[in-house]
Chain A
């Protein structure tokens, strides 16, 4: 790693990282804050029971039994995934594809640092941002639980697992995004590859959940590995999928750095 580059890139990314983190933290706090007023409402529970099970499954809603299930359904089921995925694809793009496309990668390479060191540093910046977003969200979840919800304590272990698996999901997404961005000459092409793959994975997962016959489609999707609702109920086999997500991420980053070190750059 090159410290000077790391510091500068963190500084350049700071605004983005802070807005994603704060946005995510505020949203989870909001969800936790409205939970007490809804928990006792029989009408809502009744309404949820009437919805088709596929819809509930599609948005990872398992129930409203406790705060964790509520958060899992209302935040981790959709918005959290969305925020994280967008951060992964855009940040990978800004850190790798943009310098190559705009030509200022030449500035960085014209220093006595190997391409591996530079790509590795950029990857670390990306992961630092990702960690900041997830950690802040987790902290906000605990804080909101302590402040707004009197009796219904958050299941700390399951909540932490949910965030850890969520982080690994983003690690995997950022891994293949990083690979595409290290490979492409063109910023837009890189973004369409990583964004396209992410949208495709999400669609496969969604269709698989909505249509019983198409459930096998979910096996082709990275998003099937993250089931916040089931984690909240303690039913998820989270360890094997975590290993899988971790492997995908490591492969993506390793291949991206390796490819970047060996390719021709027209800078």
Chain B
């Protein structure tokens, strides 16, 4: 459905994306993961025909994204990472404009989406909060029932409740057989929705994996607070990987061996457990770097 063939874009400052090759199958939810500045948005801009590739090409439904962007646009819905709307319009006027530009006959699904997201469409856009604008963007991306949905960092800046609504919507679209391409710099965001994930770093594609594979590779750090001083030594002596410890607070790394982790902890009196939020680099990139070093 979506195909990148050695897609390369070199900007005057030497940065860019280099020979990115991947294929997204029909009906698949594909995650595009990478730290900020890895080239995710640049890749997406090629899919939309905003940028001309230096080399290689991007293809959606058999149409070249640069040369036939109008044809490509007919079957895709796009939610930009940083939403910008024309000022001086209400949400409804904007949606009317975009429906008109798409020559849509029916606004049934659009109205349904507005209803579901509880969007106040008569508010002027300049008075909307970021979350509300995001909703307008989402309606605009989905209202024409596109076959391919492209979302650039869709849940950044949304509150957890709204994020959940969002994820539900994505899952529904998936059930309808839509192909979804979703970029993010946070793994949990992608973990809940995607089938396969591509990881990008410094403009290069590092890996394309099944999301379950990634989950098993993921290294999580837990901060354990023990109630009793005497348990500390015992836990330190256990087979679990202790990253560091200070007093009764012990940080343990877990990668796949959740069961062993739980069984070990069950022997102590645990005061609290916290999952440490980690950057993408901490979760995966060290894994790939290590694997490369081994070669």
Residues of A that sit less than 8 Å from B by CB: 2-5, 7-8, 12, 99, 102-104, 106-115, 117, 262, 264-267
- Whether A12 contacts B73 by the Cβ 8 Å rule is no
- Whether B86 contacts A264 by the Cβ 8 Å rule is no
Knowing A12-B86, A114-B70, A264-B52, the reply to whether A106 touches B97 (Cβ < 8 A) is no
A107 surroundings in chain B (CB, below 8 A): 84-86, 94, 98, 140
- Whether B69 contacts A114 by the Cβ 8 Å rule is yes
Q: Does B49 sit within 8 A of A, measured CB to CB?
A: yes
- Whether A111 contacts B98 by the Cβ 8 Å rule is yes
- Whether A112 contacts B86 by the Cβ 8 Å rule is no
Knowing A112-B102, A113-B70, A113-B101, the reply to whether A267 touches B85 (Cβ < 8 A) is no
- Whether B74 contacts A112 by the Cβ 8 Å rule is yes
- Say which residue of B71, B80, B94 sits within 8 Å of A112 (CB atoms): B71
Knowing A112-B102, A267-B50, the reply to whether A8 touches B74 (Cβ < 8 A) is no
Q: How far is the CA of A266 from the CA of B50 in the complex (A)?
A: 7
- Whether B50 contacts A109 by the Cβ 8 Å rule is yes
Knowing A111-B98, A262-B52, A264-B50, the reply to whether A103 touches B84 (Cβ < 8 A) is yes
B98 surroundings in chain A (CB, below 8 A): 107, 111
- Whether B48 contacts A109 by the Cβ 8 Å rule is yes
Bitwise, B97-116 to A at CB < 8 A (1) or not (0) is 11111110000000000000
- Whether B71 contacts A3 by the Cβ 8 Å rule is no
- Whether A99 contacts B101 by the Cβ 8 Å rule is no
Residue of A at shortest CB range from B97? Answer: A8
Known pairs A3-B100, A103-B84, A264-B52 / 8 extra A-B pairs, C-beta < 8 Å: A5-B97, A7-B100, A8-B100, A110-B78, A112-B74, A114-B70, A266-B50, A267-B84
Q: How far is the CA of A103 from the CA of B84 in the complex (A)?
A: 5
Q: Does B220 sit within 8 A of A, measured CB to CB?
A: no
- Say which residue of B45, B73, B101 sits within 8 Å of A2 (CB atoms): B101
Q: How far is the CA of A68 from the CA of B52 in the complex (A)?
A: 54
Q: How far is the CA of A3 from the CA of B97 in the complex (A)?
A: 10
Bitwise, B76-98 to A at CB < 8 A (1) or not (0) is 10101010111011000110111
B11 to chain A, nearest CB (A): 9
Q: List 29 A-B contacts (CB under 8 A).
A: A2-B100, A3-B100, A8-B89, A8-B96, A12-B86, A12-B88, A99-B86, A102-B84, A103-B80, A103-B84, A106-B78, A106-B80, A106-B84, A107-B94, A107-B98, A109-B69, A110-B76, A110-B78, A110-B80, A111-B98, A112-B70, A112-B73, A112-B103, A114-B70, A264-B50, A264-B52, A265-B50, A266-B51, A267-B80
